[in-house]
Structure 1
Amino acid sequence: MTLAARLVDIHSHVYLPRYAALLRARTTVPRILTSSRDGKPDDRLLILDRDTGRPVGPQYWDRDEKIKFMDRHGIDLTVVSSANPWLDFLPASEAQTLASQLNEDLEQYCADSPSLSPSLKRIYGFGMLPLVPEISIAALLEAIDQISKLSYLKGIIMGTRGIGKGLDDEALDPVWAALEKTGLVVFLHPHYGVNSEEWGEKNNGHVLPLALGFPFETTIATTRLILAGVFDRFPSLRLLLAHSGGALPQLSSRLASCIDHDPVVASRLEHDARWYLGKLYYDAIAYGPEELGFVSDVIARSQRYEPGSSIPTNAPVDRALGSKRMLFGTDHPFFPPLQSTEKWQSVVDNLQAIDAVSGWGQAEKDNVHGGNALSLFNLIQL
């Protein structure tokens, strides 16, 4: 099997033992609550207000369980990340210390994983920044420097609140500059969703917060980055969006029109808003070929808005071109099947969706499966 034909999972989480221990010691959300069900210990992870929790076990922190999951689904390589809520709930000094420790823990977690080839591990990772209110920019730059020097960490995972004012906070410009300079991939992942009051009083489980709230949070955060000119100031920044970019692809033309008709922002950006979507990366966790095909079209369409482009707005798009910025993911250990099965439906659905996208040839599908990830994380030459 060639490197380009590898299956690479870029959206997979781990609650490292040090982090899980912290959550177990807490008495308020976020926490791991230990109780009893049918006479047996019942550990549940609670990360949101009004959260009834989800069962947690070794698959959340045991590397061997991660490898077993990978083997069961034919996944060759995984880029893991600590899962939300990261360090948002900690004071700055504690967050700084813990982020450094967790980055070292994750480096060891990856280093001790099996090898795919003499120079390629099966597990790599996204490090973590102590992005909390009151943290100094110097501390954030120190964390970026630490991560950039760790052999198996290839990026960072980041929530949407920054240091309290969101990711469009100009105070973060030195952070974006450092991330751009190091080439670390920034994985933007939601946690807070939208105001929980919007979900009403009926118990619908996790469906509304996860299916709608998380993608809307990503949509808003990315739009604020665009409006703030972050991608104009840092054009080489490599930003990977969770959940196929949320609703941003669907709403991108509406966004562009609103910008064009608003005197506050009409002349602020260097490009049409739709151009920026072609500079981002997207996980392929959308579960349907039509959704993936649409995102691919939106990425490819950005060429129309290149400076000096003569491509008419009604010209057909090259869907294959858009596939180059899309990457397979599983969201493991979340979304396990409700009944015991050999393979997880959530993973099977994602793979079947990629394989069924109209307009993608085998080369494009192989790249979404793994080739794009190997290139993005600079592993293709190994």
Structure 2
Amino acid sequence: MASKLLVVDVHTHLYLPRYASLLRERTTLPKIITRTRDDGRKDERLVILKDEPSGGRPIGPSYVERDEKLTFMKKHGIDISIVSTANPWLDFLQPKEAHQLSLQLNDDLEEYCSTGPTVTGTSMKQLYGFGLLPIVSGISTESLLEAVRQISASSHLKGLIMGTRGVGKGLDDEALDPIWAAISEAGLAVFLHPHYGISKESWGAKNNGHVLPLALGFPMETTIATTRLILSGVFDRFPSLRLLLAHSGGALPQLSSRLASCIDHDPIVASRLKHDARFYLGKLYLDAVCYGPEELGFVSDVIARSNRYETGSKNVASGGRSSGSGRMLFGTDHPFFPPLSSSERWKSVVENLDAIENVQGWTEADKNGVKGGNAISLFNL
């Protein structure tokens, strides 16, 4: 019972020192640059996308140092964090360098977690991690499988984080089937996270800063990538694959019935899948990073109804909003979107916890599950 009262953050990022050093050495994107402010002080900025507003994102110790992560957790009552390297991961490297660096960074992350503190009164660590695959164009299958084996053998790495481009053709590329098979067999979770967004021409000429690419572009990238996975039959071929979607699955829950209707009317894909498309949303895990109780409740409903859409199912009613909560997990997106004052609590924590607390139809057990119990079960902590 006590474990269900722990708060677990599944969407929290870092740049390990080895990775940050690489970004500082680079002269092309992505890179970390140093600039002089108007007051003469110097600060570092992370530039990962072309034409990034404001000359990149200001970064500091919270992006790299473990003590800063632990201080943030203590301040906000977070007991355990499943940390992951933030985008752009290794996408910008050549295969040989990406392969070598993935193995080094996975070892670094295992040490980062294993040498950290333990949750008081338990045998659990405060820090666990999602490792990296060198999933770049031109990489060999064996290189990817070696990284999967390394992550699986690492006691404190509970899965891996992955972008949406795969090895160049997207995550629906059949060349990834051996990787999905290995990940499934190892019982690892895949945290699917966006990076590239969608074409900047979609946003028009007016300067709206980061708002449109981050608020809409990132979730739509996740929506498209996951839909392509569903259409490819990956979840039919690998039914035990555990996929965790960032930002509550983007727009996929809202569009899932439209997706199912379009599939039914398209002869190219209508006979490709074993089940109605809405069934597969119940196979996914989603972080609870959408900042509002109404949105969380809706996503929970969509997950809960998925059992109605399994081929041959005699279910006519959904499992209820409560049952949908079992596949949702709290996250903060730390260290992005910091407060304006060092004394403030982070809105990404306060708003997401408040949203969980105020979902109509969730029991206290459901809420405790989303806050931490579901993650403890999923990652076998």
Q: Scaled by the length of structure 2, what TM-score is found?
A: 0.97
Following superposition, the deviation at residue 12 of structure 1 comes to 0.3
The one-letter amino acid paired with 1:62 is E
- Residue equivalent to 1:77: 80
Query: Sequence identity of aligned pairs in percent?
Result: 69
The one-letter amino acid paired with 2:118 is S
Asked whether the equivalents of residues 293 and 359 of structure 2 are also in contact (C-alpha less than 8 Å), the reply is yes
What's the CA shift string for 1:115-173, capped at 9, x where partnerless? 11452100000000000011000000000001100110000000000100000000000
- Residue equivalent to 1:90: 93
Q: Tell me if 1:129 matches 2:133.
A: yes
Unaligned runs of 5+ in 1: none
Asked whether the equivalents of residues 306 and 318 of structure 2 are also in contact (C-alpha less than 8 Å), the reply is no
The match for 2:117 among 114, 118, 125 is: 114
The one-letter amino acid paired with 2:102 is A
The one-letter amino acid paired with 2:252 is L
- Residue equivalent to 1:345: 347
Equivalent residues, number = 377
Question: Could you tell which deviates more after superposition, 79-88 or 196-205?
Answer: 196-205
Matches within 5 A, 1:14-25: 14-25=14-25
How far apart are the structure 1 equivalents of 2:234 and 2:136? 20
Q: Tell me if 1:355 matches 2:357.
A: yes
Matches within 5 A, 1:1-382: 2-37=2-37, 38-51=39-52, 52-116=55-119, 117=121, 119-312=123-316, 315=317, 318-379=320-381
Asked whether the equivalents of residues 304 and 318 of structure 2 are also in contact (C-alpha less than 8 Å), the reply is no
What's the CA shift string for 1:63-117, capped at 9, x where partnerless? 0000000000000000000010001110000000000000000001001211114
How far apart are the structure 1 equivalents of 2:146 and 2:234? 21
The one-letter amino acid paired with 2:337 is F
Following superposition, the deviation at residue 309 of structure 1 comes to 2.3
Asked whether the equivalents of residues 326 and 366 of structure 2 are also in contact (C-alpha less than 8 Å), the reply is yes
What's the CA shift string for 1:189-246, capped at 9, x where partnerless? 0000000111122221111111000000000000000000000000000000000000
The one-letter amino acid paired with 1:187 is F
Asked whether the equivalents of residues 274 and 302 of structure 1 are also in contact (C-alpha less than 8 Å), the reply is yes
How far apart are the structure 1 equivalents of 2:234 and 2:329? 23
Q: Scaled by the length of structure 1, what TM-score is found?
A: 0.97
Question: Could you tell which deviates more after superposition, 117-126 or 211-220?
Answer: 117-126
3-state SS in 2 of match to 1:43: strand
Asked whether the equivalents of residues 144 and 179 of structure 1 are also in contact (C-alpha less than 8 Å), the reply is yes
How far apart are the structure 1 equivalents of 2:376 and 2:122? 16
How far apart are the structure 1 equivalents of 2:122 and 2:72? 22
After the TM superposition, list the runs of 4 or more consecutive aligned residues in structure 1 that deviate by more than 6 angstroms: none
The one-letter amino acid paired with 1:99 is S
3-state SS in 2 of match to 1:120: coil
3-state SS in 2 of match to 1:115: coil
3-state SS in 1 of match to 2:167: coil
Following superposition, the deviation at residue 317 of structure 1 comes to 5.0
Asked whether the equivalents of residues 80 and 125 of structure 2 are also in contact (C-alpha less than 8 Å), the reply is yes
The one-letter amino acid paired with 1:233 is R
The one-letter amino acid paired with 2:51 is R
Following superposition, the deviation at residue 181 of structure 1 comes to 0.1
How far apart are the structure 1 equivalents of 2:172 and 2:158? 23
Following superposition, the deviation at residue 270 of structure 1 comes to 0.2
How far apart are the structure 2 equivalents of 1:287 and 1:104? 34
The one-letter amino acid paired with 1:366 is N
How far apart are the structure 1 equivalents of 2:35 and 2:347? 29
Following superposition, the deviation at residue 342 of structure 1 comes to 2.9
Query: What is the root-mean-square deviation in Å for CA atoms of aligned residues?
Result: 1.0
